[in-house]
Structures are given as structure tokens and as C-alpha cells.
């Protein structure tokens, strides 16, 4: 069992991919010509929803979005596109990117093409969202129900039900959860052992999966947690506790790896036992580990800090302030991390490429 090092007086609040929790829904509309993607999760798949929630955890400011179309800071925690922007482009053969559900300017076409319910800072553990003032999964699910109601009013209930039935729900979770637990931001560490907390997160996964099924979900693609100990901010925070050098925090990555085994076993059990429901597991831990250990194989030069500012512990507004003082890296494609938590557009592209074979196998299974 993973054992966390003893941390004290650490004030670190992080939201990362990995997916730290993300849900994506990919569906084939009734006309059979488009692909719709609907997202639940955290900052790794939040295209700007937090811009409309009042939380401080938002980044609609330079240098975020510097490589997004028209160089717009949309609220994405990156310099450009996210995994959930590459996915609809690949599946539909277009350059479409996903929009936030709370965007007041959404049209019916936008709703039909897919929206994101994700909120930076959320996790399986509802305490994670509370720290950042983010929307927890219950609130995200409530917005999904409102989304369905809007669609039913526009295209009628039967067409909406068909769209949801054909959807593929993709879930990636637990970065914020393990972060907050490791740095004792929620008090869970006093209440639960690492093993018990992993079981708690698994029960939360089961509950949310059941809630999605109750809303009509038939197909679920689950993405595991990343090696959290490799995040630049984690390494910096650990070094500040008396270590002379920044280095990966293996205990935190190990806790995520153990949870992934539990999650994959649960996915396999559900796939074998449930009828009229398909569920697959997608690995994110392995690809990220390989990238940070063998960056040259992927064309990366820097994997231990972000491109924005100093890249050591800044993200969000702190990244913007640091960039204003220190600038940003000259070659963003050489960096895997954009800020001290989130990947660059090229980093996200590599992660989507790593997931693509499993996504293709899943869609092939569904169409057999």
C-alpha cells in the first residue's frame, strides 16, 4: 500500500487531467453525420465553464489560450486545445472544439454538437470541489439534466433519448482527490487511511456511474488517474518541505496506480455482469509516465516544469502574474506542461493519441 510522506502547512490546490475527474460523452446524432461530445470533470476538460460560476479557479486571461484559434483565452487551462477538443475533431473529421454548457451564447446547434459540464477543481470526492468553489459532480449532473430538458423542448423527448442512448460516456478521475488528500486540504487524511480513501473514491465512482445509467447512459469509457507525483507543482511543494532538489513524489503516484488497479477491476466486473451497458478502461498513467521518463521519444525537451512563467508552482492567475514578470517559454512544443499542473496543447495531443487505439477498439466493439 502506498504511504504518503509527512507534509505540513502546504497550501496547494491543484486540478489536473487526469484526470482528476473527467467525464466525456461522445454520441452519434440521429442524422449519422456528426459526433457530439459532452464532458463532465475538472480543469483538464473545462473549456471555460468556471468563467460563469463565480469561482476564483478560472483563467480567462493571457497567456492562456495563446495558441487557441484566434489566440483567445477561453477558460481552458492550457495554451490551446484539450483532449476533449481533439476527440470531436477526430471523430467528426472537423475542426470543431467543445463549448461550456453555461456559456449564455450557446445555440441549439452548439447543444447538438456537444458541450462541457466540467468545472475546474472538481473530483470524485465532493470536498474537492468545495475547496475551489467548483461545481461538484452532483451539480454537473443537475446541469446535464437541464441540458436534456432543453434538447427535449427543441427536438422532442424521443430524439433526445436516442441521442443519449447512443452516447459514449468517458470518465477520467481522481487527481484533485489524491492531491487534496496528500496535502491534507480536506481533512480526509485524518479520517481515512490511503486504502480506505481509495475505496471511498471507488464507491463514489460507482454511485456516479449508476446516476449516469439512470439518465440513460449505455456506454462508458473510464480513464484512470495519472502519475500525480510527476506534476511540477507537486515536486516543488515536496522540495519546499526540506528536500534539497525537486524530484517526483513516488508515493503519490503509487497511490494513483493502486487506485487504477481497483478501478480497472471494477470496470471488468461491470462489463462482465451488466446487460445493455458497455464499459471500457483507458490507461493514462502509462503514457504520461513514459513521456516524462523518455521525453526525447516524443519530441519534448522539458517535462519537470511548465512553460508559463517559472513553471514551478504557478497555475491559473499565478501563472498569468508569473508570465507577466518572467514571460513564457519560446518553444511551447518542447514543453509537456503548460503551467505547473496542466499539459500544453501538444501534451494533450500526445495523450489523445495514446488513448486513440482504445477509443477505436471501444467504438468498434459498439458497432460490431
Distances (CA, A) of 359 to 195, 236, 264: 30, 34, 16
Determine which one of 51, 180, 339, 349 is catalytic. 339
Per DSSP bridges, beta strands 22-27 and 168-172 are antiparallel
∠ at Cα 16 (10, 21), nearest 5°? 110
Q: Give CA–CA dist 168/149, Å, rounded.
A: 19
Contact between residue 250 and residue 229 where contact means Cβ atoms under 8 Å apart: yes
Q: Give CA–CA dist 311/309, Å, rounded.
A: 5
Distances (CA, A) of 66 to 52, 70, 76, 231, 348: 21, 8, 11, 22, 15
Q: Which of 332, 329, 331 is nearest to 309 (CA)?
A: 329
Determine which one of 43, 116, 174, 349 is catalytic. 43
Q: Give CA–CA dist 126/176, Å, rounded.
A: 10
Determine which one of 92, 172, 180, 342 is catalytic. 342
Number of CB atoms found within 10 A of residue 21's CB: 36
Would residue 342 show up in a list of annotated catalytic residues for this protein? yes
Would residue 195 show up in a list of annotated catalytic residues for this protein? no
* Cell triple for 65: 489560450
Contact between residue 124 and residue 137 where contact means Cβ atoms under 8 Å apart: yes
Q: Which of 120, 11, 124, 24 is nearest to 64 (CA)?
A: 120
Catalytic residues: 43, 339, 342
Amino acid at each position: 500500500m502506498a504511504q504518503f510522506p509527512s507534509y505540513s502547512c502546504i497550501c496547494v490546490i491543484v486540478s489536473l487531467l487526469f484526470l482528476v475527474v473527467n467525464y466525456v460523452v461522445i454520441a452519434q446524432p440521429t442524422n449519422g453525420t456528426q459526433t457530439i461530445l459532452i464532458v463532465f470533470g475538472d480543469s483538464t476538460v473545462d473549456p471555460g465553464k468556471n468563467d460563469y460560476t463565480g469561482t476564483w479557479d478560472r483563467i480567462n486571461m493571457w497567456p492562456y489560450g495563446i495558441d487557441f484559434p484566434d489566440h483567445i483565452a477561453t477558460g481552458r487551462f492550457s495554451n490551446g486545445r484539450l483532449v476533449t477538443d481533439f476527440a470531436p475533431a477526430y471523430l467528426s473529421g472537423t475542426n470543431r472544439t467543445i463549448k461550456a454548457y453555461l456559456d449564455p451564447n450557446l445555440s441549439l446547434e452548439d447543444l447538438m454538437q456537444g458541450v462541457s459540464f466540467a468545472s475546474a477543481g472538481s473530483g470524485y470526492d465532493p470536498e474537492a470541489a468545495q475547496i475551489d468553489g467548483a461545481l461538484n459532480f452532483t451539480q454537473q449532473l443537475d446541469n446535464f439534466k437541464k441540458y436534456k430538458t432543453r434538447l427535449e423542448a427543441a427536438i422532442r423527448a424521443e430524439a433526445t433519448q436516442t441521442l443519449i442512448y447512443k452516447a459514449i460516456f468517458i470518465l477520467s478521475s481522481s487527481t484533485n482527490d489524491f492531491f487534496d488528500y496528500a496535502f491534507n486540504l480536506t481533512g480526509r487524511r485524518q479520517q481515512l487511511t490511503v486504502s480506505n480513501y481509495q475505496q471511498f473514491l471507488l464507491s463514489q465512482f460507482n454511485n456516479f456511474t449508476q446516476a449516469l445509467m439512470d439518465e440513460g447512459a449505455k456506454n462508458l469509457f473510464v480513464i484512470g488517474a495519472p502519475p500525480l507525483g510527476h506534476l511540477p507543482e507537486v515536486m516543488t511543494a515536496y522540495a519546499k518541505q526540506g528536500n534539497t532538489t525537486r524530484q517526483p513524489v513516488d508515493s503519490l503516484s503509487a497511490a494513483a496506480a493502486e487506485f487504477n488497479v481497483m478501478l480497472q477491476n471494477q470496470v471488468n466486473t461491470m462489463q462482465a455482469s451488466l446487460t445493455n451497458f458497455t464499459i471500457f478502461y483507458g490507461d493514462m498513467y502509462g503514457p504520461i509516465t513514459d513521456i516524462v521518463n523518455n521525453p526525447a521519444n516524443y519530441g519534448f525537451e522539458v517535462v519537470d516544469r511548465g512553460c508559463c512563467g517559472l513553471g514551478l508552482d504557478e497555475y491559473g492567475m499565478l501563472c498569468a502574474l508569473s508570465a507577466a514578470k518572467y514571460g513564457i517559454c519560446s518553444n511551447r512544443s518542447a514543453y509537456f506542461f503548460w503551467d505547473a499542473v496542466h499539459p500544453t496543447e501538444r501534451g494533450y495531443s500526445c495523450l489523445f493519441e495514446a488513448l486513440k487505439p482504445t477509443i477505436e477498439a471501444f467504438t468498434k466493439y459498439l458497432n460490431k
